[in-house]
Amino acid sequence: MPKIPLIVLSLVVVLAGTGIGVLALRPVRAPVAAPVLPTPEPDTSVRPFRLVAHTGKPFTEQDLHGKVALLYFGYTFCPDVCPTELGYIAKVMRALGPDADRVIPVFISVDPARDSREKLAEYVPLFDKRLIGLTGTQAEIDAMAKAYGVFHQRANVVTKQEGYYLIDHSSSIFLLDPQGHLVDTLDSDSTIPTTVGRIARLLPAKD
Amino acid sequence: MRCLILLLVAVTMSAADITISAPWARATAPSALNGAIFAAIANSGTTADELTAASVAPTIADHVELHSHTKDAQGVMRMAPVPSVTIPAGGKAELKPGSFHIMLLGLKQPLVEGQEIPVTLTFTRAGSIKAKAVIGTIAASESPAAVSGCCAPEMK
């Protein structure tokens, strides 16, 4: 067998082996359950807003200060995804035990035309007494949704019920630290202990 | 006692090859205008079947539609009516949160936890099958009958 081709062959084998090694060393990515978009911007500045709570009181980003906040955008007519996510938040609140005192869960309606303060008042306590429901004018809601990169749009689908409409919307739970910085989004596919752990790391010291 | 009742109503109902297991719904807020029924539908036959319609008494809701729910690449949830749901031969279709569901539009009264909704499911091959959906909490994510230890104190 001629020498040079053998060397070339060896090189090819070595290079191929290295390639395989590199491939094998590449970090194996955990399967991503579902791409959660919009991805929170790296900008962690406090996003101001002014809405009305289901209690009738004005509610701004200042009311979140000093607590870890869980923000979820949805609407009460939402028959499926919103109860799933709010149910998850309620489970997390229960699992937090006494630490839940330093956590504030908030549901922001992207359907202010139908979600009046009164409507929210009969809805949010069914999940958890601590859950705050927020509504406002369409412009106020749009501004807050934009600040958090939340998509919401009346769905272009026709149902048999006259005047009835659905809203397509982003379904993410935003996690804010006690200073009001958006630090992460929570995935309701995560186990409750995993989520509780992520929240616990942000909790402010007890008074 | 509630567990016992739930177990009794969770008895599966079948016609020919189609079996509807543990149909359930979530409780709704007092003035809610809609609700959703979920169930697992199995097909033991060798031919696929189609769930084409569902109905409830007019005293429960104005309209009933089959809906699907999908999460797009941007994480946006989109819900839309679908003409039918296929139950593959030897397989099953899961009507569950975040997926297919039977949508009740124009509720005449709130859905109350612990009560049941008589519902009729219509299939292309199996015909009409009656079932009773058990109503769980508003935050339920699965059939109350499927939740083991449903009456443990921490679940209250």
Assigned domain for B20 exists: yes
**Closest partner CB to B98 (pick from A80, A127, A161):** A80
What integer pLDDT is reported at residue A23 of this predicted model?
39
User: Which whole number is the average pLDDT over A129-147?
Assistant: 95
Q: How many Cβ atoms are within 10 Å of A193's Cβ, its own excluded?
A: 11
Do the strands A132-135 and A103-109 form a parallel or antiparallel pair, or are they unpaired? parallel
CATH number at residue B39: 2.60.40.1890
> Amino acid identity, residue A80?
D
State pLDDT tens for residues A40-80: 555 567 889 999 999 999 999 999 999 999 999 999 988 78
State pLDDT tens for residues B53-106: 999 999 999 999 999 887 777 777 777 889 999 999 999 999 998 889 999 999
Assigned domain for B71 exists: yes
Residues 6+ apart with CB under 8 A from A8: none
Q: Are B150 and B1 in contact (CB under 8 A)?
A: no
Assigned domain for B15 exists: yes
Instruction: Kindly identify which residue of chain B lies nearest to residue A89, measuring between CA atoms.
Output: B139
CB contact under 8 A, B79 and A168: yes
Assigned domain for B37 exists: yes
Question: For residue B128, what are the domain limits?
Answer: 2-138
| Surface of A (31-60) touching B: CB under 8 A | 34-38
- The CATH class of A50-200 is alpha beta
Residues 6+ apart with CB under 8 A from B118: B56, B57, B130, B131, B132
State pLDDT tens for residues B4-38: 444 444 444 455 799 999 999 999 998 888 899 99
Q: Is the pTM of this model over 0.80?
A: no
Assigned domain for B94 exists: yes
CB contact under 8 A, B138 and A36: no
B40-44, B64-68, B133-137, B151-155: which has the minimum mean pLDDT? B151-155
Number of structural domains (chain B) is: 1
Whole-number Cα distances in Å, B31 to A86, A107, A122, B35, B42: 18, 18, 8, 11, 34
State pLDDT tens for residues A78-87: 878 888 899 9
